[in-house]
Amino acid sequence: MSKAKPAVLILCTGNSCRSHMAEGILKAAAGDLVDVYSAGSKPAGYVHPKAIQVMAEIGIDISGHTSKHMDTFLDRDITTVITVCGNADQACPTFPGQVNRHHWGFDDPAHATGSEEEILAEFRRVRDQIKLVFEAYAAGLREGRNL
């Protein structure tokens, strides 16, 4: 009988951009080691189309993701919770009972303004920051470091 993989829950407020990008990147980098989920304290109800677009550019499909409330996971055995809210005006949600907690804040690209290309550039910038952090986290998991 195989032991269940540890579960990692990535939280932000809206669960429309950053948490989905992080979920997709961590699944791609370490989905064989951990189960990865994302949710929000006030879910937007959709995954931002530009988040889907910029993730597809790096070969990760998040088009099937859905925006979920963090309460959906209260009855699950969550090992690690990672919050990705960035701005001081955003209240990062807290999740009861998990063993490990990390906070890696990123700007919310959904608030980007300007031309279509400027907004896409902001989504790409945030995606690339998330990719660096979550791929480093995945490398640590591979080396047997803490969740």
Residue-by-residue pLDDT tens, the chain, 147 positions:
456 899 999 999 889 999 999 999 999 999 999 999 999 988 999 999 999 999 999 999 999 999 999 999 988 889 999 999 875 455 666 677 657 889 999 999 999 999 999 999 999 999 999 999 999 999 999 998 767
Q: In terms of residue numbers, what domain contains 138?
A: 7-142
**Is 21 within a domain?**
yes
**Is 147 within a domain?**
no
Q: Just list the catalytic residues.
A: 12, 85, 92
Backbone angles phi, psi at 47, to 5 degrees: -100, 130
**Is 2 within a domain?**
no
Q: CA angle 2-7-76, nearest 5°?
A: 95
Number of domains forming the structure of the chain:
1
CATH number at residue 96: 3.40.50.2300
Give the residue from 37, 43, 53, 42 showing the smallest Cα distance to 5.
37
